[in-house]
């Protein structure tokens, strides 16, 4: 009976030891995570806008890997072609719908990228924008709001547009965003304005209440193809009590005021302290189990 008890104890300590070692290995081999903001602007409306913690095990995280993970995690979006590095459809909005070069493109931190999604390495805090348009065919503008004269009710929208000279060198010019609909919110209502040839609107004085005002901009071709990039959900312009005014811009890059983080969807990674505490506990268990195994092995040997 005594030997049976010793054997059972030996078996128990052996199991505990291996479980502890396996748990410690899992802690050290746990995925790293990277926080990125993903915003998807479809043909008619915003499809997705959130900050995600994306796990990865390799030395770096590519945009393709991040999109595959988010696509698998989020029921609200379905991205087709991400596995082949060429996005052809998001939520049923397919490239080429308008018969031109229209389709899905992307920016990172407000800037165009010349590599595919499989070749773009992300960094912590990056803002990724996927948008539908035809900037190299019909054309597309990326509005920025100038609120210098907001005290007088004037907002001017401009866009830094890229064209190419005879030698295919890029030429960037700042142009007005004219003929665009601007939705200005005040109180519980909204008013639609249309930008003039200089890209400006004149807001009525009674709609210039002090505080933050939600703003949206829209311009489409007759076919429905987007001709400007909408501002992100939650984009606001602040009207101050004094002549000072400023755009309340939650973007991570001044060139792209429409990229905004929605922290409500953030999934936090375990805190470093929690990981260390867990590791220490498993190490103590492992050492205790090992000592128990050694003790019973020696005791058993002495009794023989």
Q: Assign residue 169 the CATH number of its domain.
A: 2.170.130.30
Backbone phi, then psi, for 228, in 5-degree steps?
-135, 155
pLDDT band at 24 (very low <50, low <70, confident <90, very high): very low
Lowest mean pLDDT among 14-18, 133-137, 234-238, 298-302: 14-18
Q: Is residue 211 within a helix (H) or strand (E), and if so which, with residue range?
A: strand 211-218
Largest Cα–Cα separation, the chain: 101
pLDDT band at 3 (very low <50, low <70, confident <90, very high): low
Asked if the structure places residue 140 within a domain, the reply is yes
Residue 266 predicted with pLDDT over 50: no
Asked if the structure places residue 187 within a domain, the reply is yes
Residues sharing a CB contact under 8 Å with residue 191, sequence separation 6 or more, in sequence order: 183, 184, 203, 204, 207
Residue 246 predicted with pLDDT over 90: no
Instruction: Look at 57 and 301; give whichever has higher pLDDT.
Output: 57
Q: Please give the full DSSP string across 60-115, using - where no structure is assigned.
A: S-BHHHHHHHHHHH-TT--EESGGGT---EETTEETTTTSSS-EEEEEETTEE--S
Residue 130's nearest CA partner among 188, 101, 90 is: 90
Instruction: Look at 265 and 178; give whichever has higher pLDDT.
Output: 178
| C-beta separation of 248 from 212 below 8 A | yes
Asked if the structure places residue 303 within a domain, the reply is no
Asked if the structure places residue 300 within a domain, the reply is no
Asked if the structure places residue 23 within a domain, the reply is no
Q: Which domain holds residue 162?
A: 32-265
Indicate the number of domains in the chain. Answer: 1
Asked if the structure places residue 94 within a domain, the reply is yes
What value does the mean pLDDT of the chain take? 81
R_g over Cα of the chain? 28
Asked if the structure places residue 254 within a domain, the reply is yes
- Which pairs count as long-range contacts for 108-116, CB under 8 Å and 24+ apart, including other chains? 108/63, 109/252, 109/253, 109/255, 109/256, 109/259, 110/251, 110/252, 110/253, 110/254, 110/255, 110/256, 110/259, 111/253, 111/255, 111/256, 116/64, 116/85, 116/86
Average pLDDT over every residue of 148-175: 93
| CA dist., res. 193 & res. 175, Å (int) | 19
Residue 264 predicted with pLDDT over 70: no
Residue 278's nearest CA partner among 15, 30, 12 is: 30
Average pLDDT over every residue of 32-51: 97
Residue 126 predicted with pLDDT over 80: yes
pLDDT computed for residue 82 by the predictor: 96
pLDDT computed for residue 297 by the predictor: 62
Distances (CA, A) of 239 to 185, 217, 257: 12, 18, 17
Digit-coded pLDDT (tens) for 50-96: 999 999 998 999 999 999 999 999 999 999 999 999 999 999 999 99
Residue 267 predicted with pLDDT over 70: no
Tokens describing residue 37:
């903001």
Tokens describing residue 302:
């002495």
**Which residues are bridge partners to 158 per DSSP?**
144, 176
Asked if the structure places residue 2 within a domain, the reply is no
| C-beta separation of 53 from 31 below 8 A | no
Tokens describing residue 200:
């400006």
**Residues 201, 220, 70, 86, CA torsion sign:** negative
């Amino acid at each position: 009976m005594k030997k049976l008890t010793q054997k059972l104890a030996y078996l128990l300590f052996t199991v505990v030891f291996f479980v502890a070692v396996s748990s410690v290995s899992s802690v050290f081999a746990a995925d790293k995570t990277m926080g990125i903001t993903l915003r998807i602007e479809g043909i008619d409306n915003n499809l997705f806008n959130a900050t995600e913690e994306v796990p990865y095990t390799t030395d770096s995280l590519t945009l393709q890997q991040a999109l595959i993970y988010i696509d698998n995690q989020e029921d609200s979006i379905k991205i087709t072609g991400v596995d082949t590095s060429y996005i052809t459809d998001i939520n049923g909005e397919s490239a080429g719908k308008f018969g031109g070069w229209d389709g899905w493109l992307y920016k990172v931190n407000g800037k165009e990228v010349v590599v595919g999604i499989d070749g773009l390495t992300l960094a912590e805090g990056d803002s990724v924008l996927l948008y539908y348009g035809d900037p190299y065919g019909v054309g597309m503008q990326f509005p920025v709001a100038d609120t210098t004269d907001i005290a007088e009710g004037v907002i001017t929208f401009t866009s830094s547009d890229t064209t190419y000279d005879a030698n295919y060198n890029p030429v960037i010019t700042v142009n007005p965003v004219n003929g665009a609909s601007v939705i200005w919110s005040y109180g519980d209502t909204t008013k639609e304005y249309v930008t003039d040839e200089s890209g400006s609107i004149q807001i009525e004085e009674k709609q210039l209440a002090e505080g933050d005002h939600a703003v949206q901009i829209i311009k489409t071709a007759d076919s429905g193809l987007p001709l400007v990039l909408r501002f992100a959900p939650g984009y606001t312009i602040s009207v101050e009590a004094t002549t000072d005014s400023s755009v309340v811009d939650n973007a991570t890059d001044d060139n792209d005021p429409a990229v905004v983080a929605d922290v409500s969807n953030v999934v936090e990674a375990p805190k470093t302290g929690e990981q260390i505490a867990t590791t220490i506990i498993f190490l103590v268990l492992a050492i205790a189990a090992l000592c128990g195994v050694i003790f019973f092995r020696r005791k058993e040997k002495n009794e023989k």
